[in-house]
Structure 1
Amino acid sequence: MEILQELTWRGLVHQVTDMEGLEKQLANPTTLYVGFDPTADSLHIGSLLPILTLRRFQLAGHHPIALVGGATGLIGDPSGKASERTLNDRETVEQWSQRIREQLERFLDFENVPNPAVIVNNYDWTHSLDVISFLRDIGKNFSLNYMLAKESVETRLERGISFTEFSYMILQANDFWNLFKTRGCRLEIGGSDQWGNITAGLELVRKLSGEEVYGLTIPLVTKADGTKFGKTEGGAIWLDRNKTTPYQFYQFWLNVDDRDVVQYLKYFTFLSQDDIADLAHKVETNPGAREAQRTLAREVTTLVHGKADTDRAEQISKALFSGDIRELSKDEIAMVFRDVPSTVLAKSAEPLLVDLLIQVGACSSKRQAREDIGNGAVSLNGVRCTDVEKVVGVEDRIEGEYVVLRRGKKKYFLAKFE
């Protein structure tokens, strides 16, 4: 299947500057790029769509460039933002740029392939550009009216936009011009909020060279229930395992809504049309089995964290689902339940379960605690406990340290004895 046909089937084509021209261009190996600004010390799953799209182009025989925005990250992109970004210092942006570079390296092939990927940093060609040269050689190609008409600027005019962020699109346009000159880049890809910046780059290349280049945007991912994609109660879902553990990452995909799962399989996996059609049929005929969600979680977690971490995340999920919490190590307990209410008790403590439920905040009174225990609403380390006189002793602790309490179906609490 041709790359544009595949992207269209997967729902990954939002806008194209010239579809007919791009189809002709992609008949031959084409150099393309996607930019990633270092706005944090890690990319999050919102960045996965452009990363994986870049990989799809490489698998189709094209030459991908991943651009780290060491320069543009110092300025701040107004696209999609209601107010001015906080500027980060140069040292911080340099550190974040390196971290993002390392993450991008996991997704693309850089050697032993006919079309190796390249990672560049726009700081390398921007930091030495003096103001006079920038204004004369680059800025003169953009009229004020042209820039004001861009949605990223227009939506900010009422609240105000600094000259710094106003100039962002020119810096990004200069990136396309530089990559066109030095690497023959003919296509820029980005999220749908990048349309104005991408078309500014096309305009600059056309004015300075007379050549036609192309832009393609992919949709911003949405959720059927209206909540923001990539967010949980604990915050964003990061690609950095130290910010979002492989287990938490796996759980995010496992809990995807039935209404979203088929589209996410198209977006975020490399499964074939037939495989996805089969999973879509199972969502319709047997949604309770959640096979599509399990496949999605397995595929995406393996892409980001590798097979070993994915296997362990699945094992942990099975242990929790079956109630065999004692199969988990204390490190896994700390990881899995790091976002639930946690209470530290003395190592010598052996409280009544009734009292422990109050101490961890699961119940507000002894009366409520006794009722919940008697009604079978309380589980201790995954096992339902109905003994209102139960003493939580040393033998109940996992590796001598943790006790996991659950009230109802989903409310977990952690007691740590030290």
Structure 2
Amino acid sequence: MEEARMQWGRWAKEIQQGKRESFIQHLESRGLIHDVVGDRDLLHRVLTEKRVGFYAGIDPTGPSMHVGHMLPFMILAWAYVWGLPATFLLGGSTARIGDPTGRRTTREQEHSSVRRANIASMHIQLKRLGASIEAYGLKHGYKRQWIWRRALTNNNTWWNKVAAIEWLRDMGAFVRLGPMLGRETVKNRLNSSEGMSFAEFTYPLMQAWDWWVLFRKGCQVQVGGSDQYGNILFGMDCVKQASRNTALQEEKNMLDDELDRPLGITTPLLTAPNGEKIGKSGGNAIWLDKDMTSSFELYQYFVRTPDDAVERYLKLFTFLPMPKIENIMQRQNQDPSKRVAQHALAREFVELIHGQEELHIASQQHRQLFGSRHESDEEKPIAAKPDTGPPESYRSPFREFANRAAGNRSLVFDRSFNKILYSAGLVNSRSESHRLIMKGGAHVGGSSDGTHRVEMRDEVKYQPIREGWPRDKANEFIVDNEFMLLRVGKWKHKIVKIISDEEFTKLGLQAPGWDATMGKVDDGPGKDEKK
């Protein structure tokens, strides 16, 4: 750690001497900062003199993140490759309430099984994003250093343990109602026929408590979209009060040194051409889960970027160095019809989110549909690996559900796990499923005590599927009698939504191991098994 401290000190001197770009200058040059919450010069000093932690949060109110969520996470991505600790926060608890900012009505409450499924999906998505950022950074010359730190945490971790009296004692006691009542969202809702619930009113206080928990672990800077400015400002004041007044003497800090105080950054909001915010509520979300928005569709979305926005997007959504972007724009301006900049943007973003193989598939589909590729305009793609997924006819038609498949009761209840994995489309055959289980490569979500079904908590936990489990063991892992979480390897997972056989047949769905013609289970040989 002493070596890292000395390295940061050398960099600080170079920044002060004008020989090195500071982190805030880097973010500003790429257009990632909409506002600094607090004093900009103080933030510059903090980021120059200290290796402080950053965090950004997202509530799993949907099954997937979308493009609009990425700007705060791009700041985390840059922080990570600059050696600043980055924390991705999943709001498992705050999602139960829902942020009222900018909303005219109360957010509709989701069933607990839907919320848990969303948490599972987004947890895996954020975990993949962290790994993708590291791989994408390496491509652009940012080789991982031992001091680099990133974390993914769910605020259920503390909200399931903290007592209400502790929350009120350390934070609620020092918050005045005046500023909370004066917020625009609160005034609008209180003056409307809808009104505002007490739970929604306290949402900023919950978000502030999240920051207070993370602040004590080194997360001094919170990042959010520009619509989060009020919540971040409120949270900043709450963290200061909690730090100065906490009943726990060992955690009390008067913050006399201004370099130790919390600060915030907001990013620009991504909007559609008509000015509407891009997102689920606006009905115009471009999802980051490829089961909801395919890699090809994501590629096409960025290829359609207007000419007057593409340079800005290259700075916001990629790690391309500024001279490279300038070069791309020069070529773009020579012949805008070739859409050189748009293709560069699409390639970079698809690779960042889904990796090189998916980029190859998306760009290949584009060429097949729209003609040949100019070698000078695109990099040569890598060779694609053969598809190891389930047959196309067996892939779920439920594209609105990320990483989810519909399974009828007969394909799940009282079935062995090697058959369930096959029917869920996670493997190509039951023999492959059996081999994975033998090697410990297949997992099921939730927990069981071996005697009865146990309800899964909001945390996402998996355990290995064991060879020799009885056939009805799977029943113990069916959550709320509605769904099952399955995972193969590190990243490949499925949330199996269980419906009746009748509904499955009525919807015209198919799955391996199901005879659609006869409307019954077909336990014939798997794809590579002999009769």
Per the normalisation by structure 1, the TM-score is: 0.73
Task: Say if 2:257 is the partner of 1:208.
Answer: no
String of CA shifts for 1:75-106, please: whole Å, max 9, x gaps: 10011222110122334323322221211122
Q: Which residue of 1 aligns with 2:232?
A: 198
Could you tell me how far apart the structure 1 residues matched to 2:151 and 2:336 are? Answer: 42
Aligned to 1:170: 205
1:104 to 111, 126, 151: 126
**Maintained 8 Å contact 1:51/1:104:** no
Structure 2 equivalent of residue 49 of structure 1: 71
Question: 1-side partners of 2:146 and 2:337: how far apart?
Answer: 42
Q: Distance in 2 between matches of 1:178 and 1:9?
A: 31
Alpha carbons 2:299, 2:350 under 8 Å: kept: yes
Alignment pair present for 1:151 and 2:184: yes
For residues 317 and 228 of structure 1, the distance between their equivalents in structure 2, rounded to whole angstroms, comes to 27
| Paired amino acid for 2:93 | A
Residue by residue over 1:340-370, the C-alpha shift from the partner in whole angstroms, topping out at 9 and shown as x without a partner, is xxxxxxxxxxxxxxxxxxxxxxxxxxxxxxx
Q: Which residue of 1 aligns with 2:26?
A: 6
**Which residue of 15, 40, 47 maps to 2:35?**
15
The answer to whether structure 1 residue 262 and structure 2 residue 283 are counterparts is no
Residue 138 of structure 1 is aligned with which of 156, 162, 171?
Answer: 171
Q: CA deviation at 1:73?
A: 0.6
**Which residue in 2 is equivalent to 1:70?**
92
Structure 1 gaps of 5+ residues are: 324-328, 340-418
Residue 163 (structure 1) shift: 1.0
Local SS of the residue matching 1:270: coil
CA distance in 2, matches of 1:214, 1:14: 14
* Structure 1 stretch displaced more, 122-131 or 35-44: 122-131
Distance change >3 Å, CA 275–CA 154, structure 1 → 2:
farther
Q: Are positions 1:83 and 2:117 aligned together?
A: no
Q: SS in structure 1 opposite 2:92?
A: coil
**For the residues of structure 2 that align with 1:230 and 1:265, how far apart are their CA atoms?**
20
Q: CA contact under 8 A between 1:190 and 1:216: conserved in structure 2?
A: yes
Confirm or deny that 1:246 pairs with 2:295: yes
Name the Cα RMSD after superposition. 2.6
Unaligned runs of 5+ in 2: 1-20, 135-143, 244-253, 256-260, 373-386, 401-531
CA shift, 1:130, in A, is 3.0
Distance 1:285 1:61, change over 3 A: same
Mapped to 2, the partners of 1:82 and 1:248 lie a distance apart of: 31
Q: 1:9 to 1:135 in 2, by over 3 A?
A: same
Superposition deviation, residue 246 in structure 1: 0.8
State the shift of 1:187 in Å. Answer: 0.7
Aligned length: 329
> Does the 8 Å CA contact 1:224/1:259 hold for their aligned counterparts?
no
Tell me the secondary structure at the aligned position of residue 319 of structure 1: helix
Deviation at 1:112, TM superposition (A): 6.7
CA distance in 2, matches of 1:70, 1:230: 19
> What TM-score do you get using the length of structure 2 for normalisation?
0.58
SS in 2 for 1:32: strand
The equivalent of 1:400 in structure 2 is none
Measure the CA separation in 2 of the matches of 1:94 and 1:230: 21
Q: Which amino acid aligns with 1:114?
A: I
